[in-house]
A and B are shown apart, each in its own frame.
Chain A
Amino acid sequence: MKIESDHSSASDEQLVAAAKKGEMAAFEELVARHRDKIYARAFSMMRNEEEAVDLCQEAWVKSWQRLVQFQGESSFGTWITRIVINLCLDQLRKRKRQRTESIEEMSEESGGVERQMPVVTVNPTERLERGELRKRIDAALNQLSHEHRTVMILHEFEEMEYKEIAKTMGCSIGTVMSRLFYARRKMAALLANLKTEELK
């Protein structure tokens, strides 16, 4: 099969091999295949459309420049996703300003409100249609701090283990566990309590 003439039916591995030789059309096909997933990850982390698009673009440019370093130990999709995650983390660190910590943030590491929160006994999303659930999740994610949101995204969407998340975020496994627990409990409460007015 000639990759030059038929990119759409080529595998990612074939496209990567062609792109490494400088074939831009093969790289364009890789961008087209993975662009939505990369954007979704950036948007989940940043919660800002414009910023997410810019970071995606930067991730794709970097991946082109570093393509020779990609040895195929993971899939191309995983590799480019990790690039965008790292760019998002850098951006979030830059963005973070010195600010007074809220009571909830202070309690996150030292024994906080999530331990006292009553357990949500009914499944809050059971009777919701997909669109409504999506709105609620969006609103709930917006209310989490970026540290809590990122841990949850890396665990739930990127399927990283605690150890890997700790390495990516530069914190201890204990902190990862604590943040993940807080984020899940907060999400459960928000999904159950968010009122329709708050979502409009």
Chain B
Amino acid sequence: MINHDSQLKLQAYLDGELSAKETAEVQNWIATDQDAQLLLAELQNTNAALVGFEAEIKLPETREFFWSKIQREIESQEKASARVSARPFSLGAWLQRHLVPVSGTAMAILVLLLVVQVAPSKNQVGEMELSSGDVGAVTFRNESEKMTLVWFYDKADSGFTESDSLASLDQE
């Protein structure tokens, strides 16, 4: 009985995947082992049976019909692509694409700061205080896009105020 590693080595020999040294070793083995000769012959017969198999398989559609489907699909995708690139600028879509990830990050940072405040480390030297009075929030609602944005900021560190933010949004 040939062990599995040797079986795979015999197959690799058949497929030309061995180094020159390994090839010589396998050739010596085959010359003296009848089981190896039989297995090699079986693998070779299977390969031989498959030769030319795919050449007999033909597409079951006429050239014209098959091409018409491809052409139609190409044209349809090109039209769709052209429509997307010609779409007018939408403030709501722009805000959704650019500001939502930023506000999400801001929210995560805020939550992190609150957690730090609630569970301070014993080794903490200073203290960080953050109360709801220090945090400002601006809300923007776009009815046509059915979207609401909430922007948080630190009142002490920023010259940014609610009236500023609303004014800037109005301008846009």
Contacts and interface: CB of A to CB of B under 8 A. Distances in A.
A40 B54 contact: yes
Nearest to B77: A61
Given A119-B38, A119-B42, A161-B17, A39 B59 contact: yes
A169 interface: no
Given A53-B59, A61-B73, A134-B56, A177 B46 contact: no
Given A37-B54, A134-B53, A188 B45 contact: yes
Given A36-B57, A36-B58, A39-B58, A177 B66 contact: no
Nearest to B9: A177
Interface residues of A, number: 48
Contacts of B12: 162, 177
A65 B77 CA distance: 10
Contact of A61 (B8, B17, B53, B70): B70
A31 B65 CA distance: 12
Contacts, number: 109
A48 to B, nearest CB: 12
Given A61-B73, A191-B46, 7 more contacts: A35-B63, A36-B59, A61-B74, A120-B45, A134-B53, A134-B56, A187-B49
A81 B67 CA distance: 17
A44 B53 CA distance: 10
Contacts of A24: 71, 74
A43 B57 contact: yes
5 contacts: A31-B66, A57-B66, A124-B49, A162-B12, A177-B8
